[in-house]
Chains A and B, each alone.
Chain A
Amino acid sequence: MSKVVSELKYSAEHEWVAADGAGPVGIGISAVAADALGDIVYVDLPEVGSTVTAGETCGEVESTKSVSDLYAPVTGEVTEVNDGVVADPALINSDPYGAGWLFKVAVTEEGPLMSAEEYATANGGEL
């Protein structure tokens, strides 16, 4: 079963948010979503300096089999994007909570987020 990392928070649209409060937070997609998408071959991320709004689309993730919108789990300014994952989107499959992170946001407001336990229960992940 797909792994769910307990230190992170999760949106209903399968984005994870690094839970620490200080400074911009890292955002990625869960292993549950990465596994469901299949081999990811293309990722379109918001630009540094742009503002994303919790619950709204801010990019897309494309696998060999399907394409899925990326929803911002928080509101705020994008401070950094992971160029490594743009160059090698397979990192999202191989290391979704590490090298496969997507972008960082200076959060002004959080969207509705779940704990790892809640997310795993709702989506069949494994803590």
Chain B
Amino acid sequence: MTENYTALYDQHKKAGASFTDFGGWQMPLKYTSELAEHHAVRNAAGLFDLSHMGEVWVSGPDAGAFLDYALAGKLSAIAVGKAKYSVICDADGGIIDDLISYRRGEEKYLVVPNAGNATKVAAALAERAANFDVAVEDVSAETSLIAVQGPNAEAILLQLVPAEQHALVTGLKYYAAAEVGIAVDGAVHTLLLARTGYTGEDGFEIYAPNDDAAGLWEALLDAGAAHGLIPAGLACRDSLRLEAGMPLYGNELTLRVNAYSAGLGPVVSLAKESDFVGKEALAAIKAAGVGSTMGQKLVGLKGLGRRAARGHYPVLKDGTLVGEVTSGQPSPTLGYPVAMAYVDVEYSEVGTVLDVDLRGKAERFEVVALPFYKRSK
């Protein structure tokens, strides 16, 4: 696989980042300490380069109807300016990706798949568009995505937004987006600003052409310096999303799991009148009780000892295999190990104590409700 670099690679190098491959991209893992970066996002703000994420425009008279068919949610029902979290499934109900769709007009949506799945999703959308009057345009390569996350995110962003547009930013609701003027290199550029994130904190994601990325990055770093903003890498992004109970594609979500086992039942709209890819399979899965009365389901695990569970570790009950950990690590915010795991439904009740096999030694974990961490409003 060829290695991809974002438009901010030089900024990361200058800042002393250590890099990791993620979905075929060389991305900053951390700049200094992943713990310091994690705490900065919880207590002040962190700046993330998410340019590896995909961006696919869907436009045309059938845009809403097409996405209703291509994705599991009812995208035609969201208002212009709002966003919706959804999944794209294969015919068997397996999850190809989880993604966010922003409705940018009556006939225009921006669909944002994960980095490693962007090509696959763009191809699936193009294929599924055959009988619809829509255009599907993958602009991932030309588009950068920068996120400011944390309690100080709004204050930082407002410094770069002209005063007459402040109300646009302060009034922007969670899972909504707007075109907002942002000062980059001394000029105001109109960019797509979304109040979304993957950290469990308040925050924004800004979509920008690659040419604006470096200037926007530097401007945000400058504006944030007095507010405790530091650049933050993928290591802390992972610990932040895990604490917030958010699934990661490749860990919690794969082609082999379905939305009901993954706890994403509510994002599947079996009620929508139109057909969608995977509908028949998902209806049968739901009717059979997969994830509710049979099979496995995704749960949160809280470590009762100090040692952390990691991905792929076996989950045991009285020595018998009952599941597998999908993600796990010590929680920097909570101070104890947290994990997500698929376990047999009969052991998925909150309060159930299970063992995780930590390299040959069993450690006790308790099933707890997700998320592990919820910010105080």
Which A residues contact B (CB, under 8 angstroms)? Answer: 38-39, 41-42, 44, 60, 62, 64-67, 90, 93
Interface string of B166-193 (1 = CB under 8 A from A): 0000000000000000000000000000
Complex CA gap A66/B311 in Å reads 10
Q: How far is the CA of A35 from the CA of B235 in the complex (A)?
A: 14
User: Least Cβ distance of A56 to chain B in Å?
Assistant: 14
B140 adjacent to chain A (CB < 8 Å): no
Query: How long is the Cα–Cα vector from A65 to B308 in the complex, in angstroms?
Result: 10
What's the nearest-Cβ distance from chain A to residue B28, in Å? 13
Taking a contact as CB atoms under 8 Å apart, the answer to whether A64 and B34 are in contact is yes
The 6 residue pairs across chains A and B that have the minimum distance between CB atoms: A39-B35, A41-B330, A39-B33, A42-B306, A38-B34, A64-B329
Is B215 in contact with chain A by the CB < 8 A criterion?
Answer: no
Q: B30, B33, B38, B330: which contacts A62 (Cβ < 8 A)?
A: B330
Q: Is B310 interfacial (CB 8 A cutoff)?
A: yes
Which positions 8-38 of chain B face chain A at CB distance < 8 Å? 30, 33-35, 38
**Bound: A60/B308 CA distance, A:** 12
Residue B307 CB within 8 A of the other chain: yes
Contacting pair A64 B310 (CB below 8 A): no
**Chain A residues with Cβ under 8 A from B34's Cβ?**
38-39, 64-65
The complex places the Cα of A41 from the Cα of B306 at a distance, in Å, of: 9
**Does B330 contact A38, Cβ atoms closer than 8 Å?**
no
Chain B, 295-329, contact with A by CB distance < 8 Å: what is the 0/1 string? 00000000000111010000000000000000001
Report the minimal beta-carbon distance from A2 to chain B, rounded to whole angstroms.
11
Q: Is B239 among interface residues, defined by CB-CB distance under 8 A?
A: yes
- A42 touches which of B238, B310, B330 (Cβ 8 Å): B330
What are 24 contact pairs spanning A and B, CB under 8 A? A38-B30, A38-B33, A38-B34, A38-B235, A39-B34, A41-B35, A42-B307, A42-B308, A44-B307, A62-B308, A64-B34, A64-B35, A64-B235, A64-B239, A64-B329, A64-B330, A64-B332, A65-B34, A65-B235, A65-B329, A66-B310, A67-B308, A67-B310, A90-B35
